[in-house]
Structure 1
Amino acid sequence: MALLGSRRSMFSAAKPARRRLLEGVDLMLWGIPLAMVAVAGILIASTQRQAPYAIWYQHWIIAAVGLGLALVLARIPLERYQPFRWLIYGAMVASLMAVRVVGVSALGAQSWINIAGFNVQPSEFAKVAAILLLAGVLARHPVERPVDLIRPVAMISVPWLLVFVQPDLGTSLVFGAVLLVMMFWSGMPGAWLLLLLSPLFSAILAGTIPWALVAWVPAMAVLAWRSLPWKSLAASVTLVIQGMFALGTPWLWAHGLKEHQRARLTMFLDPSQDPLGGGYHLLQSTVGIGSGGLWGTGLMQGHLTLLRFIPEQHTDFIFSALGEETGFIGSTLVVVGFVLLMWRLLQIAGRARSDYESLVVVGIGAMLMFQVVVNINMTIGLGPITGIPLPWLSYGRSAMLVNFISLGLCASVSRHGRPPQRRW
């Protein structure tokens, strides 16, 4: 009986110790990405069952290195990076320029630099550097007047242009999404956000539903007149810009883009028009996801994955392997996991001690969720192929490190942020 009592006391003492170990750990912030990394390693191994090489274990190794970096960054207050934001920005621009000189080409883009035998992708790290700089600028100069747009747009234009000419269209789009979301979070009116996006919508309407421009263009002019100073001038300039995009897009489409570039942008609308060429990836990806059904074929049991019907499936098209082997249930859980992660990041941003910290977290959230939306839409056939990886799931050394570095920065804000206010 005495022995039994001592064992009970030992186990009862162990329980509070485990609680103390997990106390203060943001389980949602850390748990969701780590769970995705664990599943992704198995999915990548499944895609390489018939491959002459095996790199799936590197996914976990790089994730472990990234986790170590994230844990270190989580203990450093984010304000300590502010004095170095211009230095970080300068190093980022220099690395992107170096890609043009000594870069390594792969898959049609010159986006990597070989360092000690490893290909490093500077454009991935440039996203975090740009977020840190934009956060510092917008914290001191929020977008409250139209002239306030010049500074952040000019700063993001440099890395955007350097990435766009690699050419890396997917990553360049991430810069634009981050800029718009961070400016909106800093205080920019929602009407201005719509006006900034309106030329893109005008271009799309000009190529798809031209008659809709009759209502769209005047509506944007009215919105500019109501929301901007110098109302008559703002409305006139808006009409000119909308007209330029509406009239210039058809000409640019016919004469400015090559045939394969036009096909890549529109192939997702009807991939069957070139089933063995540009539409091959999209067709095989949707077939693989659909074949998974409700519960999937089981991990390491996917037939299309085994036969390697989808080239480079372990990178940008890893969601197709997820859909085949875990089915609708597994795919939905991953999507829900990303939604919960974004919700947690918004909570952290709302409780941040300063505007700078809040903007950094929002910028990282915009970066991650834009990649999630574009990648998943691409693999299920609702968007063009852009080469954007799925965070923590797609194989990619630079992308994995950047994702965990971003996680560490957000964890730092969560660790040092204000406690939640209780309503009762």
Structure 2
Amino acid sequence: MSWDDLASTALVGTDRRPYPGDLLGSAAVEVVRRRAGWRPARPGEPARAADEEQDAVSRRAAERLVRILGGEHERVLPEWLAVAAGAGRRVPAYLLPELLHRGRRDDSIRADLGVLAGRRGRWLAERNPVWAYLLEEPTGETWELGRAADRRDHLRRLRAAEPGEARRLLESSWERETPEDRAVFVEVLAEGLSIDDEPFLESALDDRRREVRQWAANLLTRLPASRLSRRMAERARTCLTVGPATITVEAPSSCDKAMERDGIRPKTPRGVGERAWWLQQVIARAPLQMWGVPPGEMLRKKILDWDSEVKTAWVRAAVLQREPEWARAMFAWDPISDLLVALGPEEQQALAADFTKERDPDSQLIMVLGGVSPRWQETLATAVLRKIIQMATTQPWNLGELITLAGERIDPALAGLAQGFSPVPPIQQVAALLRFRADMIKELS
């Protein structure tokens, strides 16, 4: 019997199709016969990697990268990669396997690897499935011909230069895009967002993909004049009644389809009640300017019920809507790093400097400092260095992460300031890392 006949008999069973003899034994013989009859393929000459177009980093820069990969100040690797990629350089071929292996575990460095790996890196990625992620990073192709990453990169650059043209380009191909690509592309519209984007984003609220709908709702929330913001304001007014000294709260009793379309997620996180969850989302998406009262004054009012839920919603609203005045007020109530995104780099650093002066180096301080955009300038750098000196005599065991963070985030041009700040070993550790980074950047420039 042929292999197809044996397989068919096995599928329907010997009760329905009797087989004379040992079916499994015959199948084993047929497997051996088939394998013995195969001739091994003779591979042709493998295609060579194309010649590189980018210049490699200098020998000294490559040597420093070897040291970083070997464990010396390993946490500055993302900065090394970002600076090198920004200079349009590539890494030597002998370092590619280690870097591609790291990129497999850390997707935050993949965009820079897409630049630094060059043509040899893509050649390797085509031959090793575990490195294939590199093929999804931008290559410089056009909107029409590029992969998803190329098209996202093209759209982002166009959005920065001509926001309206970028939106029209996306609209022209929207129906032909895959759900995965739509979810990636709509996020790009966050830059240069304006009320002109509202009709497109409003239509995206009906998209089949949840991530698309959520991003569209988030962006519309940043537009106080959008129809979504007006709808959320109406809902919020039914939930909160603001009096001269008190705020009365009536949480939603249900989450209907219209609320879901506007970005309210009906399913609650573990440990949160339904009405509390819906209340937080409604208030977070309602335009903060609708209350007509400064945030400090709102926070002083007594909230009769749902106090924590309402204030948590205002925190989320300040983050979603990028509202600086509310972000400052809510940071004073709950100093979380997410609120810093609503503030410019200088104000972030000033706020973090004040917070550092008042706080012991606990996890909250580390989280706040970790949310401040690098590179830290003198005001914040000085506050952190003083905190290190203060704690070096009382809690030296509690300084490790603060020392490392200072060395990684302070502007390396301030290495001299740190070195002369104090001779105590923790400060000199910070100064040493700043000098390491300063030399690293010089080698890559």
TM-score interval for Structure 1 and Structure 2 normalised by the shorter chain? under 0.3
**TM superposition score normalised by structure 1:** 0.23
Q: Relative contact order: is structure 1 or structure 2 higher (C-alpha 8 Å, sep ≥ 6)?
A: 1
